[in-house]
């Protein structure tokens, strides 16, 4: 067996793909995605989503305003801050917040459920209270008391003007 001196035939050249076909294959997912979104937006979107982006410049509809959930309102109320000031007394010492107490009583008279949720949220927040975090909570209570003092002053000014 000797070596053959013949060279193997040149391998068949691979077929060249058309640039047009490659472009269409690359663009197909984009077109399908945009079409799917368009169908969803026109036919399947909820009426709330449509009202949120009104036709006039994408502004929200003034007649339908989104409400803040009660749980979030409870955690950002003056009653929540007052509840914190009461619940941290044992570990952090007393915190003087007379304006918080007064405005908390007004909030409780106006919306009892909000006051209850505020106390529950404050109790959850203070369950794992450590002495290290007392400074932060006392600072938060002092800030809330300052805001409550301002709110009470505005309420008094409104009453004085007869509003």
Render pLDDT for 119-158 as a digit per residue (tens, 0 to 9): 999 999 999 888 888 999 999 999 999 999 999 998 888 8
Q: Please give the angle made by the CA atoms of 132, 133 and 135, to the nearest 5 degrees.
A: 95
Q: What is the pTM for the complete model shown?
A: 0.58
Domain ranges of the chain: 19-52, 70-161
Give the mean model confidence (pLDDT) for residues 9-32.
Answer: 81
42: which DSSP letter? I
Residue recorded with tokens 């169908």:
39
């Amino acid at each position: 067996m000797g070596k053959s001196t013949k060279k193997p035939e040149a391998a068949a050249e691979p077929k060249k793909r058309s640039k047009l076909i490659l472009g269409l294959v690359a663009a197909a997912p984009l077109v399908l995605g945009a079409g799917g979104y368009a169908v969803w937006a026109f036919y399947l979107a909820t009426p709330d989503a449509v009202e949120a982006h009104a036709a006039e410049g994408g502004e929200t509809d003034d007649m339908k305003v989104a409400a803040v959930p009660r749980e979030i309102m409870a955690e950002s109320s003056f009653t929540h801050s007052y509840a914190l000031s009461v619940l941290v007394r044992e570990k952090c010492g007393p915190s003087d917040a007379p304006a918080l107490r007064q405005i908390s009583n007004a909030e409780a008279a106006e919306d009892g459920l909000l006051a209850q949720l505020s106390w529950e949220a404050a109790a959850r927040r203070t369950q794992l209270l450590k002495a290290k975090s007392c400074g932060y909570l006392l600072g938060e209570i002092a800030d809330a008391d300052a805001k409550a003092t301002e709110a009470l002053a505005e309420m008094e000014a409104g009453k004085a003007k007869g509003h």
